Amino acid sequence: MRTLAIDTAGKSAGVSLAVDGQIRYEVFHHAGLNHSLVLLPAIEAACSHAGVALAEIDLFALTLGPGSFTGLRIAAGTVKGLAWAAGKPVVGVSTLDALAYPLPTGPDEVLCAMLDAQREQVYAATYRDGEDGRRERIGPERVAGLDELVASLPSGPILFVGDGAERHRDALAARCSARARFAGPLYRHVRAAAVALLGEERYRAGESLDVVRFSPRYLRVSEAERRHSSLRESTKND
């Protein structure tokens, strides 16, 4: 199976190409560039360096969210166009699942993946490794303020990862004390390679998306939608 995976859910953009579970190519952009400017050239480079033509791709995988509204739309639009033209399946992966995937944890340690959601909030989910060694999400994905999130965390050691954890590192350390540990900079952003491997796993388990109808998973309304709703409510009250 040849899988092309992309992630533009956050400040970084990544593309990876895997063949039968082996990563052939991965590129990561974190230079403040518009994702729409780097994504298609990165896909072309992935196919060229991996020796796989775009027409030979068997599966497209992408991060569905949560994350940047603009970034998620760019990924969805790109994958829909490529997959529809090729007649190939698409599988979606949670951005938080992909963020948590590559990171080793200690014994009895819970992993908390956090993305900066702005407005003093984070997108977050918690994970634990099962007895079979597979990582399992142990709570729902959520958008929350820091105090609300910390209050919901299970007891015991916590490993924090993601740009949300980096932004709130001091506050998390103060609230969680000695049980808090933080992942290093290599794990701060989503790896497109993780999206490819998770995507293959989920496709083999029978998951796929409707290429035409699928949409990103935002967890909250956009700023524009929030303002429109507030304006409509204000007009109604007048």
Domain segments of the chain as ranges: 2-95+191-221, 103-187
CB 117, CB 123: distance < 8 Å: yes
Degrees (nearest 5) of the Cα angle 214, 48, 211? 10
Tell me the two tokens of residue 173: 């350390």
pLDDT, residue 237, reads 53
Q: pLDDT tens-digit profile of 175-189?
A: 998 999 999 888 999
Q: Is 185 exposed, middle or buried (0-12, 13-18, 19+ CB in 10 A)?
A: exposed
- CATH topology for the 2-95+191-221 domain: Nucleotidyltransferase; domain 5 (3.30.420)
- Whole-prediction pTM: 0.91
pLDDT digits 0-9 by tens, 117-139: 998 999 999 999 987 778 999 98
What is the pLDDT at residue 31? 80
Domains 2-95+191-221 and 103-187 share a fold: yes
Class of the 103-187 domain? alpha beta
Residue whose tokens read 């998306």: 209
Query: What value does the mean pLDDT take over residues 146-154?
Result: 95
Alpha-carbon dihedral angle through residues 102, 104, 108, 110, given to the nearest 10 degrees: -40
pLDDT tens-digit readout, 161-218: 999 999 999 999 999 989 999 998 889 999 999 999 999 999 999 999 999 999 999 9
Percent of the chain predicted with pLDDT > 90: 81
pLDDT per position as a tens digit, 31-64:
877 899 999 999 999 999 999 999 999 999 999 9
Q: How far apart are CA 110 and CA 128, in angstroms?
A: 5
* pLDDT tens readout for residues 72-96: 999 999 999 999 999 999 999 999 9
Q: What is the model's pLDDT at position 234?
A: 45
Contacts of 233 (CB under 8 A, 6+ apart): none
Residue 113 has pLDDT above 80, yes or no: yes
| Mean pLDDT for all residues in the chain | 91
Position 86 scores a pLDDT of: 95
Higher pLDDT, 228 or 232: 232
